């Protein structure tokens, strides 16, 4: 049986680890807070007391952590993966981090006889629960082939997109599209409400035409109902817009619409809403039109 160490059992990592258990892997999980580990154990996984404990006997090590410094710390720290895992282990980082950091980690890992893939995902909490994530993978083709059974357990559309770091570049493009689309969906709902048009049927018919998208169908209901329980936290999307803005600048690529979307998410975070679902960008657009009240946004589903 293949042992997978899974580090970072949050909104995304927990259901992904559970899907690996269901697919027949021996999953040993570690997370900074313990309730998430307990949830994995309740579904047939094993608990680790530390990163070292999780990785020491693992064939495959998966990470699903918030940001670049978290992944760098967990992989390269004294009590981290590179210093304590078995040589030859396959490391799959599912987190969304900076592409240049992913490329550096892959190089460092290779030096320590590890194989490292960057494999950021899209599809949200629902995709993680359903095991239908889109996974964009950077790294060596042979390592991609070896990771296939893991990818198949958590994802549906899994594509090798190039060398180390490439997965993160594709994910940055993904976040650009999602942020821009979210902003326009929010604007459309503010506009519809201003005219007193019933928003639910409007969203249904818009979804059947060229304006249809997963962002529209999954996120418009949050905006209409003012329920912003994450999902995908504003502060994480704000982090991703920092990644794509910096990477685009380095490449000399102008992203005017993306920059505007980044400002809206940044403003939301600055106003104390970093913990809400990113669909809460609706609140900023509502405010720009002098609409919406002072009511505290609802975070209950
Ligand atoms: P999350 O905050 O819910 O989960 C992260 C988990 O990592 C938490 O449980 C936290 O306790 C744990 N953690 C952090 N530092 C740790 C450490 N040093 N040691 C052990 N555990 C540690 O975040 P999430 O929403 O699951 O997102 C994880 C990653 O996936 C992020 O990079 C995010 O951008 C990306 N992502 C999220 C979504 C989404 O819809 N939530 C979708 C696609 C990609």
Q: Which atom of ligand 1 is nearest to the CA of 73?
A: 18
Is 171 labeled as catalytic in the residue annotation?
A: yes
Pocket test for ligand 1, best of 6, 12, 35, 269 (most atoms within 8 A of CB): 12
* Mean local confidence (pLDDT), 275-279: 98
pLDDT for res 151: 98
pLDDT over 90 at 299, yes or no = no
pLDDT for res 53: 98
Dihedral of the alpha carbons of 73, 158, 1, 25, in degrees to the nearest 10: 70
pLDDT over 80 at 301, yes or no = no
- Using the mean position of ligand 1's atoms as its centre, give its distance from the Cα of residue 140 in Å: 25
pLDDT over 80 at 273, yes or no = yes
Q: Please tell me the pTM assigned to this model.
A: 0.95
- Note the Cα 179 to chain centre separation in Å: 13
pLDDT tens, residue by residue, 152-200: 999 999 999 999 999 999 999 999 999 999 999 999 999 999 999 999 9
Percent of the chain's residues with pLDDT above 70: 97
pLDDT over 60 at 295, yes or no = no
Pocket test for ligand 1, best of 5, 6, 8 (most atoms within 8 A of CB): 8
Pocket test for ligand 1, best of 54, 236, 274 (most atoms within 8 A of CB): 236
* Mean local confidence (pLDDT), 240-256: 98
**How do strand 121-122 and strand 3-7 relate by DSSP bridges?**
unpaired
* Mean local confidence (pLDDT), 242-265: 98
Domains of the chain: 3-163 (3.40.50.720), 169-288 (1.10.1040.10)
Kind and range of the H or E run holding 156: strand 155-162
Q: Which two tokens stand for residue 95?
A: 């987190």
- Using the mean position of ligand 1's atoms as its centre, give its distance from the Cα of residue 198 in Å: 36
> Ligand 1 pocket by C-beta < 6 Å: which residues?
7-13, 30-33, 36, 64-66, 70, 74, 95-96, 121-122, 124-125, 231-232, 236, 240
pLDDT over 90 at 292, yes or no = no
pLDDT tens, residue by residue, 191-241: 999 999 999 999 999 999 999 999 999 999 999 999 999 999 999 999 999
Backbone angles phi, psi at 80, to 5 degrees: -105, -165
Q: Which of 176, 254, 182, 261 is nearest to 218 (CA)?
A: 182
pLDDT tens, residue by residue, 32-74: 999 999 999 999 999 999 999 999 999 999 999 999 999 999 9
């Amino acid at each position: 049986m293949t042992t997978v160490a899974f580090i970072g059992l949050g909104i995304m990592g927990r259901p992904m680890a559970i899907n690996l258990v269901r697919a027949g892997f021996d999953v040993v999980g570690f997370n900074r807070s313990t309730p998430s580990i307990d949830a994995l154990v309740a579904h047939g996984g094993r608990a680790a007391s530390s990163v070292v404990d999780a990785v020491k006997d693992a064939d495959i090590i998966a990470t699903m952590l918030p940001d670049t410094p978290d992944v760098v710390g967990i992989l390269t720290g004294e009590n981290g993966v590179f210093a304590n895992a078995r040589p030859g282990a396959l490391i799959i980082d599912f987190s969304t981090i900076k592409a240049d950091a992913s490329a550096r980690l892959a190089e460092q890992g290779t030096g320590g006889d590890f194989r490292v893939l960057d494999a950021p995902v899209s599809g949200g909490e629902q995709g993680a629960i359903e095991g239908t994530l889109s996974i964009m993978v950077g790294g060596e083709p042979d390592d991609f082939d070896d990771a296939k059974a893991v990818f198949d357990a958590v994802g549906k559309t899994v594509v090798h997109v190039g060398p180390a770091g490439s997965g993160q570049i594709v994910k940055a493009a993904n976040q650009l599209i999602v942020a821009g689309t979210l902003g326009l969906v929010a604007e459309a709902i503010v506009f519809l409400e201003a005219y007193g048009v019933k928003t639910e049927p409007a969203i249904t018919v818009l979804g059947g035409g060229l304006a249809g998208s997963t962002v529209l169908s999954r996120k418009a209901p949050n905006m209409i109902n003012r329920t912003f329980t994450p999902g995908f936290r504003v502060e994480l999307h704000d982090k991703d817009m920092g990644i794509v803005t910096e990477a685009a600048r380095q490449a000399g690529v102008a992203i005017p619409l993306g920059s505007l979307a980044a400002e809206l998410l940044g403003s939301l975070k600055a106003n104390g809403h970093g913990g809400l679902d990113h669909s809460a960008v609706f609140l900023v657009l509502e405010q720009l039109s002098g609409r919406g009240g002072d009511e505290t946004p609802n975070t209950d589903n």
